[in-house]
Amino acid sequence: MAKQQMKRIEVICAIEDSRSLIDLLQRSGSVELTEFEEDGRLSRLSVSASVSQFEKTLAIAGNALKSLDKYVPEKKSLLKSLNGGIEISVAEYERKSGDVDAIIAKCMKINSEARKIEENGASIARIRTLSEQLKPWLALDVPMQLRGTETTTAFIGTFPREYDLEGLLSAIGSESPELEITAEIISSSRDQTCVFLLCGKEQSKEAERALRALGFVRPSDLTKHPPGVRYERYRKQIEELKAEISESERMIAGYAKLRPDVEFAIDYYTVRRDKYSQLANVAADNRFLALKGFVPANRASKLSEKIEKSFAAAVSVSEPDEDEKTPVLLENGSFSGAVESVTEMYSLPGRDDVDPNPVMAFFYYVLFGIMLSDAGYGVIMVIAMLIAKAKLKLSPKMKKTTDMFLYCGISTVFWGALFGSWFGDIAQVVSLQFFGKKLPSLALWFEPVNDPMKMMLFSFLFGIIHLFVGLGVKFYMLWKSGQRFAAFCDVIPVYLLITGVAPLGAGFVIDINPTITATGKYLAIAGAALVVLTSGRSSKNIFGKLGGGLYGLYNIGAGYLGDILSYSRLLALGLSTGVIASVINLLGTMPSNKTVKAVMLVVVFIFGHAVNIAINLIGTYVHTNRLQYVEFFSKFYEGGGRAFTPLKANTKYYLIRED
């Protein structure tokens, strides 16, 4: 079905049916609303306050779910986590919608307890910091704010270096030899010394001067009691706060069974937020509601009938204006649709583009299989994807991704069998190491490791075919648009030039039949001549045409040479997968004892090949995409399309099924 044609749709309905109409459109997911112009009678709806309120409520439910996940995490298998959601009917959705206010009230309680946990945690951290500051003073048995008695002056504080008692008294004596002072070191470390000093009241000023000269500083927080008393108080406060945290965690755990309801509330308010956001495009008065937008042509008739049958409404479906930029919706079968995400990552088709996926899909799977090129790895991919499709309720997007890797796996099995790679050379290794028999090659075609030059030439051949198909699509697009001369000039000369040069280039590596070489030479000359004659056709004078032609010949020669050489990555990645797999098998057979060898081979086989398939899957995916984006799309594809974004139920946890 490829790129869907879009229609314009306009609907006018009675205001009392407006809510039901919008709900129907949202559930159908078929209409992208566009801004309805105000005309004096109808004015657009003001929905910003409602959207803001839904956002706040959504945040409440979202925070509650995060708290449940943090304090009572749900045990969920990897396969279960890939499920697309729980299916519910419209009637069940409406029934559960009546409970959302009660659910949000419980979410607020969860959030309140979560905030208490966070606040108590912050308080514990603060009190622990204060406790750490008191630790050096725990040996002090008098209040830290003590300033002395009637006849004495006390100094309680710190010096910014380490002292023992003798060194401290010596340092004070050097500053004030006549000062009589009693000292007690409370604690000492490399960075500071905590002291209690006592002198006569008449010497307090002199003592103050001498101590300050040595860097003496009083504590900023002076206790009314001995430090040990406050330290004990801090310890009890921490215990009380921890007890409150435990109680709050217990209360949150009591809401563990509420998780499905919280997930439903998140989906419910997401749907409502999205709906009201789109309502900003709708116009209404006290009697009617009017909207307009885009609808895929293949859904327009059925949707129109359903609206007119269900409501007192008038529906108009028409063709968009010729210069109007319509949204893009791609709808392909399983084989082609599986690679739509690859195209979307690059850019959706523009107005004049064709959908590249039906053409790209075959080459995508073929190139992926050649680069991964191990039949054993392909079998694992196929089995894993089939299990996922059979056991999981996949979302539409995840289903396409699963299909893509399923087809890539099938291609990998095909090419791996042709190249004789089944988990590298594991069959030959087991046969030789454990049974003393040398197996012949399992390759149905040839082994790239043993004949890399042959593989390189075939990589270039696959690349040329890939590029030629891209040029063929360009020819089709130009011809269909009426630019038939341009179609000939931009494509046919390139075909002739590349077809002629290819056997000449291959002749440097292998022997080519002289007849083919001679034919190629004449084709290359004809192609080059046509390029020179046609590339500068837009210029108005002969020198401009000649210069444009020569420049076009240079661009085609250099550009296509680089493009074709890019396909050498088929050889590089295919060899790396096979060579690494063989090295893994070799490492597993290093012990001489057969029993130890068998155990080690099993362990190394499982771990090594798991790592190898993971690494090479990533590399193969990246490089296959690159060949599509840089080499293939550049031949015919402009992109720049805008995705079709209909009003729909963007749910995450529940799938609403139409009755």
Whether 200 is covered by a domain: the verdict is yes
Query: How far apart (Å, rounded) are the C-alpha atoms in residues 56 and 46?
Result: 18
Non-local (6+) Cβ contacts of 659 within 8 A are 89, 90, 91
**Kind and range of the H or E run holding 654:** strand 654-657
> Do 461 and 367 contact (CB within 8 A), yes or no?
no
At 8, give phi and psi (nearest 5°).
Answer: -85, 135
pLDDT on residue 329: 93
Strand arrangement of the beta sheet that strand 152-159 belongs to: 152-159, 193-200, 181-188
pLDDT on residue 103: 95
Whether 295 is covered by a domain: the verdict is yes
Query: How far apart (Å, rounded) are the C-alpha atoms in residues 31 and 7?
Result: 10
pLDDT on residue 537: 81
Domain boundary among 318, 348, 367: 318
Query: How far apart (Å, rounded) are the C-alpha atoms in residues 15 and 284?
Result: 8
**Nearest to 109, CA basis, from 269, 264, 253:** 253
**Kind and range of the H or E run holding 584:** helix 568-588
Q: What is the pTM of this model?
A: 0.82
Domain boundary among 283, 318, 353: 318
pLDDT on residue 80: 60
My answer on whether 84 and 20 are in the same domain is yes
My answer on whether 161 and 209 are in the same domain is yes
Give me the CATH number covering residue 163: 3.30.70.2750
My answer on whether 213 and 302 are in the same domain is no
List the alpha helices (DSSP H) in 280-395.
297-310, 334-337, 340-346, 357-372, 375-391
pLDDT on residue 510: 87
Token pair, residue 327, equals: 């949204």
Non-local (6+) Cβ contacts of 555 within 8 A are none
pLDDT on residue 539: 81
Token pair, residue 630, equals: 């840089």
Query: How far apart (Å, rounded) are the C-alpha atoms in residues 215 and 193?
Result: 11
Domain boundary among 279, 296, 318: 318
Query: How far apart (Å, rounded) are the C-alpha atoms in residues 43 and 36?
Result: 9
Token pair, residue 309, equals: 């049958």
Whether 155 is covered by a domain: the verdict is yes
> Do 350 and 639 contact (CB within 8 A), yes or no?
yes
Whether 57 is covered by a domain: the verdict is yes
Whether 122 is covered by a domain: the verdict is no
List the alpha helices (DSSP H) in 373-483.
375-391, 396-419, 426-435, 452-480
Query: How far apart (Å, rounded) are the C-alpha atoms in residues 371 and 654?
Result: 39
Whether 283 is covered by a domain: the verdict is yes
pLDDT on residue 630: 94
Largest CA distance in the chain: 122
pLDDT on residue 278: 85
Whether 575 is covered by a domain: the verdict is no
pLDDT above 70 covers a percentage of the chain that reads 98
Whether 164 is covered by a domain: the verdict is yes
What is the domain extent for residue 163?
145-218
**Nearest to 652, CA basis, from 104, 86, 274, 66:** 86
Residue 647 CB neighbour total at 10 angstroms: 24
Number of domain units in the chain: 2
Residues of the chain where predicted confidence (pLDDT) is lower than 50: none
How far is CA 194 from its chain centroid? 55
pLDDT on residue 394: 83
Q: Strand, coil or helix: what is 4?
A: coil
